[in-house]
Amino acid sequence: MPVLKKIQTEKSQICLWKITESLEAFDLDLIPSESSSSARNTQWLAGRAALDALDIDVAKIVKDDFGKPNIQGKGKEISLSHCNQYAAAIASKVQVGIDIEQITPRIERIAKRFVHDDEWRFINDTDRLTVLYLLWSAKEALYKLYGKKAVDFKNHMIASPFKLQKHGWFHLTFKKEKEQTFVMQYEVYDNHTLVWVEGEESLGS
């Protein structure tokens, strides 16, 4: 089974899954009827497999009115992400969000749309792409924890300066309904950024 690693925190369990299987290796009955892309279906199913590796019954996943996945009747919070060769899942008793991204130059095309002016001050040329992806992954993860629409990634989410490491953390402040600061934990692995966030309660509650 291609579970690359599991991470245990005080609040959550995380599974990182390396996608080596073909589509046929998974339970095809789980694929949404409207989906048609074979590659994306494989990634999507790998995310469910990562959850299954955390002892989560994926058949009980339901989505709320905003499209956020939850586990029906189990008191568990979950989040999923996938890209290219990897899928990631997190399960917890608290609100969570997770995101994994492959590091490529294409992030430059959208950087101005999600990087706040204060964040540009600590982005240097040496680590530029990796830091940009960590910021994007962090804001995606926090967006998933929030679980609602209408979030401005540039102005509603602002990261504090941090020193890039292979694994570490930094603060991300969410400024929408009320101001809250979250610890964003991350790993940089195989030219990918993996970021997750844990909270005590849903933002906006």
pLDDT per residue over 87-143, tens digit each? 999 999 999 999 999 999 999 999 999 999 999 999 999 999 999 999 999 999 999
DSSP tag of 196: E
List 108's β-bridge partners, or say none.
Answer: none
- The confidence score (pLDDT) of residue 31 equals 41
Handedness of CA 17, 23, 25, 27 (dihedral sign): positive
Give the domain CATH number at 30: 3.90.470.20
- Provide the whole-model pTM: 0.88
Tell me the C-alpha distance between 30 and 50, whole Å.
14
DSSP tag of 201: S
Tell me the C-alpha distance between 178 and 170, whole Å.
20
Tell me the C-alpha distance between 99 and 14, whole Å.
11
Token pair for residue 78? 């979950």
Q: Which of the four pLDDT bands, split at 50, 70 and 90, describes residue 21?
A: low
Tell me the C-alpha distance between 192 and 59, whole Å.
29
Whole domain around residue 13: which residue ranges? 3-94
Same domain, 192 and 109: yes
Same domain, 133 and 188: yes
- The confidence score (pLDDT) of residue 38 equals 62
- State the total domains in the chain: 2
126, part of any domain: yes
